[in-house]
Amino acid sequence: MIVLAPDASSLRAAQPLASVRSWPVTGAADGSTLEGGTLWGECRGSAATPYRTVVDLSGPAYRCSCPSRKFPCKHALALMLLWSEGAIGPDGDLPDWAAGWLATRSARQTATNTEAKDPKPPADPAAAQRRADQREARVAAGLAELDRWLCDQVREGLAASQRSEYRHWDDIAARMVDAQAPGLAERLRALASVPHSGPGWEGRLLEEYAMTRLLVTAFRDLDKLPPPLRDTVRSRIGFTVRQADLLARAVPVRDRWHVLARRDLDQDRIQTRRVWLRGRRTGRPALVLSFAAAGQSLDASLRVGAETDADLTFYPGVVPLRALVTARRDTVPGGTPPGTTATGLLDGYAAALGQDPWLETWPVVLEATPARAPLPCLRDAAGDAVALHPAAGDCWPLFALSGGRPLTVAGEWTPRGLWPLTAWDEGGRPVQL
Amino acid sequence: MSAWHDLVTASLIGTERTVVPAVAIPGLPPLDDENGDPAAMLLDRAALLTAARRAGRHLDQAEPLPASEPDPRPAVSQAAARRLARMLGGDHPDLLAEWLRAVTTRGVRLPPQFLPVLLDLARRAGSKDPALVRLVAEAGGPRARWLAGLNPDWEPVLEETLGQDDVWRLGTASQRRAYLRALRARDPGAARELIADGWAAAGPDERLMFVSVLADGLSLADESLLEAALDDRTAFVRKMAADVLAALPGSAFSLRMAERAVRWLRMEHGEHGPRLMIVPPAGTDAAMRRDGITSDPGPGTSQARYIGLVLEIVARTPPWAWTRQFGLPPAKIVAMPAGDLGPSNPSLFTAWSRAALSQGDQEWMNALVNRALTGKPPLTQAELGALTRLIRQADPRLGAPDVLPRPGPEMLPALWHAIRTLRFRYEMLKELDT
C-alpha cells in the first residue's frame, strides 16, 4: 500500500480519511481473490457532493471524482487503507457509476492486449464455447485478409512505403483489432516507424513482413504444430490466457529469482514495464509484465538487483518467458550475476530462436568492456564484440561506469543489438542505465 | 549475405516487375516452393533467411579502449550517491556546486555513472560559470578526463586553457577573461601581477573585468590595487571596486565604513529597552563618494532617502563593527526593534544580510537566519531574496534536527522552503562524512 502512494504527503493526507465515518457508502467485490477485486466508496469531504472513488485492485487502478491530479489520490489511498484494515465488507452491489468506469477500463485493457480478467467462471459453457469458436473464425478471416495485404506490399514493391503515411499501417492494424487479433495489430502499428529508421530500413521492413506472414501461415496449420509452439503462435496473435486458467493449470517454479533488469515503455498512453529475472538454481529467464495508464504508478515491487525466493507461474509457450509471481518469500541483495561471453550470448539466442523464430527480445547477462568500433559495442575478454542497439544512444553512463575495464551488463538482446539496462559497479551494486 | 540483399532488392522493386531470387540455407535441403504466388514465395524465403541470419549472426571485432587511470579516492556513501541522483533530477539543483566542493575537499569519489550528466552541465555552463567547470573536473578526477577524451563535446570542457600565453596576448575579450579566471583560481598572485601590469593600457571594460576577477580568491594582497581602482576615471569601475573591497575583511575600506556606520545607526535605551535609531547624515562628502556611497540626499531630503543612504553604508560595513559598538551578540542586535526605520525597503535586515554574506561572517549569517525563521519573518521581496542567499551560505548545522522549527502547514512558504533547504544541506554534508 505504502508502495502505491505517489509520495509521502499523499499517504499522510489519506490517513485521517481512512475512517469509517468519512465513508458512508463502501463496498467490495471479489476482494478475496489473489489479483482481482474492486473497492468503491463515497467519501464525505468539504465539498457538497461526496467524492466517488473506485479502486480496481488488480491493476491497481484508481478513479475518483475529486479534482486531485495525484494518482492514486488520497481518497483512493484511504479506501485501500480501510480495506486493508478489514473495514470494508465484501457486500453491497456495485453502483452504476463504479460499474461504468470498470466497463470502459476493461474495454481499454482488452484493446491494448493486457490480460482479460474475468474472475467468474463462464456461466454457460456451451455459450462460451460458441463465443470461442466465433473468435477463432473471425481471427482466421482476419489473417487471410492480412496475408493478402502482406503479399500486395511485396508484389507492388516496398519502395512506396517510405512515402506512405502512418495510416497505411494503422488501417490494417485496425482491421486486426476488429478481427480480434490484437497481438498482430500492435506488431503492424509499430511498423509505421520502420521506413524512417535510417539506413537498412527496407531490410528491416521485409523482415517484419516475412515474420508476420510466418505467423499467418503457422496459425493456418496450427493443428500440425506441437502444442507448446501452438501456444506461442496464439499468444503472438493476441489470444490471452486467463489468469485463473493459468493458475489452475500450470505448476509454479520455485527458485531464488534475481531481478536483473527493468525497462519501461510508453505506447499509446499505456506504460508497460518489463522486468527480467533469472533463477539461481534453474538458470531460467523470466519476464514479468505490468501495465499502467498514463499518470498511474507502475508496479515497483520487483527491485532491480534484488534476489527473491518466489514462485513463478509461466505462461505456456515453446520458450516460456512471461510469468506471474504467485508467491514471494524473503528478499536479499543479489550481488553481481554471472555473465556470459559474446559467443555464449549469440549461442543462447540462437538456441532459443530455433524454438521460437519470432523471439526478438531475449534477456542476456554479459561480462564485457564497452568499446567503440566506432559505434558503441561490448567487447569480451576474447576480443569478440556485440553491437549495442543503435536507438540506445551513446550509453555514456555505461562507459563512465566501466572506465575501460570489464563489467557485467544485463540487457535485452535484439536483432539490432544489445539494449543495455543494468550494469554492476565494483561493489556489486546494480546501476540502472 | 548477398542472397538476403537480392531478396531485399526484389521486394523493393516488387514481384510484379521482377523474379524472386533463389535462396539456399546452409544445412537445409533446397526449397521446394516454386508453385505459389511469387509474393508469398518471396516472403516465405525472407522469413527463413531472417531466422537463419538472426541465429547465425557473426561476432563483431572491436579494438579495446585504453583504460582510465585509477582513482584512488574512496567512493562516497550510497546515501550520498542517491542524493546526487536526486539533485541531478531537479531536487535542489542550486546546491550541486556546494556538494561537489564538499566532495573534493573530503577527497572522496563520486559514482562514475553520473559523470556524463555532470560533464553536460559543465559544458553548458562553459565560460559563464568557470567555477562549476572546475568543480566537475576536480570531483570527476581521472574518470572524467578519460570520458572527455571519448566525446568531442566534452573535450574542450576540461581542456586546460592555461599555458598558452598567446591566448592572453592575442585572444578575444572572453578568451582573456577565461584565461585570467582560470589563472586566478590556480595562482591568485600571478593573476594579480598580470592585472597590475595590464592596468594602464586596459580600456574601461577590461578594467571592470579585472576588478571582477579579483573578487574570486580575494586577499589583503589585492587591497592596494583595489584602492587605486576607487580613483578610476570610470564610474562603474569605481563602483565595482567598492563592492569587492566591501567583501575584504580587515581592509582600510571596511574600517572607514565602520567608522561612518556607527555614527548614523545608534542604539538608544528607551522605556521598552534598547532600540536602534538612525541619525540623519548631513549628506555625502568626497571621501564617502570615493568609497562608492553615491546616493546623495541633497538639501531638503525626505526621510526615506537618508535611510537609504545609511542602509547602503550598513550593507558595506563589516558586521563585527556592530558587535563591538553595542557590546551585544549578533542575535541580540538583529532582534532589536528599529525606531523610525519603518517598513523601509531595503530594510536593515537586507543590509546586514548583504554585509554578512560579502564578509562571509558565519555568526551573523546564523543570527539573521534565526531571526527570519524564528522571530520576525521577512516580508518584502528584498528581504526574502536576502534570506534565500543566506540559507545557502549559513552554517549547514542550522539544518540539524531540532535546531529550527519543523516545517508546518501554517508556515509561510518561503520560510518552509528555507528550512527544507537548510535541512537538505545539513543531510547532504553529513552523508559525505560517513
- pLDDT tens-digit profile of A329-365? 999 999 999 999 999 999 999 999 999 999 999 999 9
Q: Taking residues A177-189, what's their average pLDDT?
A: 92
A155 vs B14, B51, B67: nearest CB: B14
A377 vs B7, B16, B62: nearest CB: B62
pLDDT of residue A72: 78
Express each pLDDT in A373-408 by its tens digit: 788 999 999 999 999 999 998 899 999 999 999 999
- Examine the domain organization and report whether B311 and B261 are in the same domain: yes
> Greater confidence, A14 or A289?
A289
* pTM to 2 decimal places: 0.76
Tell me which chain B residues have a C-beta less than 8 angstroms from the C-beta of A353.
51, 54-55
Q: What is the span of the domain harbouring residue B309?
A: 252-394
Q: Would you call B37 and A213 a contact, using CB atoms and an 8 Å cutoff?
A: no
Q: Would you call A353 and B75 a contact, using CB atoms and an 8 Å cutoff?
A: no
pLDDT of residue A34: 34
3-class SS letters over chain B: CHHHHHHHHHHHHCCCCCCCCCCCCCCCCCCCCCCCCHHHHHHHHHHHHHHHHHHCCCCEECCCCCCCCCCCCCECCHHHHHHHHHHHCCCCHHHHHHHHHHHHHHCCECCHHHHHHHHHHHHHHHHHCHHHHHHHHHHHHHHHHHHHHHCCCCHHHHCCCCCCHHHHHHCCHHHHHHHHHHHHHHCHHHHHHHHHHHCCCCCHHHHHHHHHHHCCCCCHHHHHHHHHHCCCCCHHHHHHHHHHHHCCCCCHHHHHHHHHHHHHEEEEEECCEEEEEECCCCCCCHHHHHCCCCCCCCCCCCHHHHHHHHHHHHHCCCCHHHHHHHCCCHHHHHHCCEHHHCCCCCCHHHHHHHHHHHHCCHHHHHHHHHHHHHCCCCCCHHHHHHHHHHHHHCCHHHHCCCCCCCCCCCCCHHHHHHHHHHHHHHHHHHHHHC
- Examine the domain organization and report whether B171 and B262 are in the same domain: no
- Taking only residues 363 to 382 of chain A, the set having a beta carbon closer than 8 angstroms to any beta carbon of chain B reads 369-373, 377, 379
pLDDT of residue A111: 45
Query: What is the nearest CA distance from A5 to chain B, expressed in angstroms?
Result: 19
pLDDT of residue A31: 43
pLDDT of residue A167: 87
Express each pLDDT in B392-416 by its tens digit: 998 888 888 888 777 667 778 888 8
Q: Would you call A202 and B60 a contact, using CB atoms and an 8 Å cutoff?
A: no
Q: Would you call A357 and B12 a contact, using CB atoms and an 8 Å cutoff?
A: no
Q: What confidence tier does B125 reach under pLDDT thresholds 50, 70, 90?
A: confident
Q: Would you call A206 and B68 a contact, using CB atoms and an 8 Å cutoff?
A: no
Tell me which chain A residues have a C-beta less than 8 angstroms from the C-beta of B73.
none
Residue B157 domain-assigned (yes or no): no
> Greater confidence, B260 or A314?
A314
Q: What confidence tier does A92 reach under pLDDT thresholds 50, 70, 90?
A: low
Share of residues in chain A with pLDDT > 90 (%)? 55
Share of residues in chain A with pLDDT > 70 (%)? 86
Q: What confidence tier does B297 reach under pLDDT thresholds 50, 70, 90?
A: low
Residue B135 domain-assigned (yes or no): no
Q: Would you call B8 and A150 a contact, using CB atoms and an 8 Å cutoff?
A: no
Q: What confidence tier does A110 reach under pLDDT thresholds 50, 70, 90?
A: very low
Domain count, chain B: 3
Q: Taking residues A145-165, what's their average pLDDT?
A: 90
pLDDT of residue A117: 44
- Examine the domain organization and report whether B384 and B257 are in the same domain: yes
pLDDT of residue A12: 64
B64 vs A155, A379, A399: nearest CB: A379
- Examine the domain organization and report whether B242 and B257 are in the same domain: no
pLDDT of residue B120: 93
- Examine the domain organization and report whether B194 and B283 are in the same domain: no
Whether the per-residue pLDDT at B387 is higher than 70: the answer is yes
Q: Taking residues A42-66, what's their average pLDDT?
A: 76
- Examine the domain organization and report whether B275 and B339 are in the same domain: yes
- Examine the domain organization and report whether B173 and B219 are in the same domain: yes
Mean pLDDT of all residues in chain A?
85
> Greater confidence, B249 or A16?
B249
A371 vs B51, B64, B68: nearest CB: B64
pLDDT of residue B299: 53
- Examine the domain organization and report whether B386 and B289 are in the same domain: yes
- Examine the domain organization and report whether B241 and B260 are in the same domain: no
Mean pLDDT of all residues in chain B?
85
pLDDT of residue A24: 78
Residue B335 domain-assigned (yes or no): yes
- Examine the domain organization and report whether B262 and B169 are in the same domain: no
- Examine the domain organization and report whether B273 and B236 are in the same domain: no
C-alpha cell at A356: 521460437
- Examine the domain organization and report whether B203 and B267 are in the same domain: no
Q: Taking residues A26-55, what's their average pLDDT?
A: 69
Neighbours of A277 (CB within 10 A): 27
> Greater confidence, A269 or B34?
A269
pLDDT of residue B429: 93
Mutation target among A204, A206, A378, A401 for the B interface, most CBs of B within 10 A: A206
Q: What confidence tier does B283 reach under pLDDT thresholds 50, 70, 90?
A: confident
A353 vs B37, B51, B112: nearest CB: B51
* Chain B residue whose CA is closest to A359: B51
**Would you kindly state where each structural domain of chain A is located, as residue ranges?**
2-111, 125-237, 243-333, 342-432
Whether the per-residue pLDDT at B341 is higher than 80: the answer is no
pLDDT of residue A172: 93
Whether the per-residue pLDDT at B193 is higher than 60: the answer is yes
Whether the per-residue pLDDT at B267 is higher than 90: the answer is no
pLDDT of residue B162: 42
Query: What is the nearest CA distance from B127 to chain A, expressed in angstroms?
Result: 24
Cβ-based contacts under 8 A for chains A and B: 151
Whether the per-residue pLDDT at B161 is higher than 70: the answer is no
Residue B320 domain-assigned (yes or no): yes
Share of residues in chain B with pLDDT > 70 (%)? 91
Phi, psi of A4, rounded to the nearest 5 degrees: -80, -20
